[in-house]
Structure 1
Amino acid sequence: MRTQPKQSRLSDKVTIRPASAPIELYRELCEDEDGNRYTVIVSRPFPGLTVTRYALDDGSPVRFIDDCLFEIVSTGRTLTRCP
């Protein structure tokens, strides 16, 4: 009698799911102390999770401070929301 190799019935192929694009929630017009204007983009990088990402329109990361203030991470500049 011949023996046959065991089969695990698992696929040898690896399925790679493409990362979904972040969902843009809204944009905030902001201003620094010198009057320079910036656009802060508020997005959700992982659909289905409540993680929120803040960045300038050029992609630079921004830190949320409170309902009126943001901070540009790389420079430390404080931005306020424009009325």
Structure 2
Amino acid sequence: MTTRVKTGAEGQNVATGEIAEAIGVASRGAGDADAAIAEAREASAQHGQTARNIAEIAETLSNRVNDLTTHVDSLDERLKA
């Protein structure tokens, strides 16, 4: 069995190629992570807007219930008079 010993330049080329490949993998991973973060932020913003809309609707309903309660109390006072 013959084993070939790589020269310094060949070894450096292999190492450089492996480093470049590792950097490429890391870059793709970072890109995927950035995309996931962007999607999470967008979803959070959408849910935040939904929560604000629900709060606004709840406040409107609460105001209307208060108005109706006041009106019913007024009618009740009229009936008692």
Q: Is TM (by shorter chain) over 0.5? A: no
Q: Highest CA radius of gyration, 1 or 2? A: 2
Report which structure shows greater RCO (CA 8 Å, sep ≥6): 1
TM-score if structure 1 supplies the norm length?
0.24
Higher strand share: 1
Higher helix share: 2
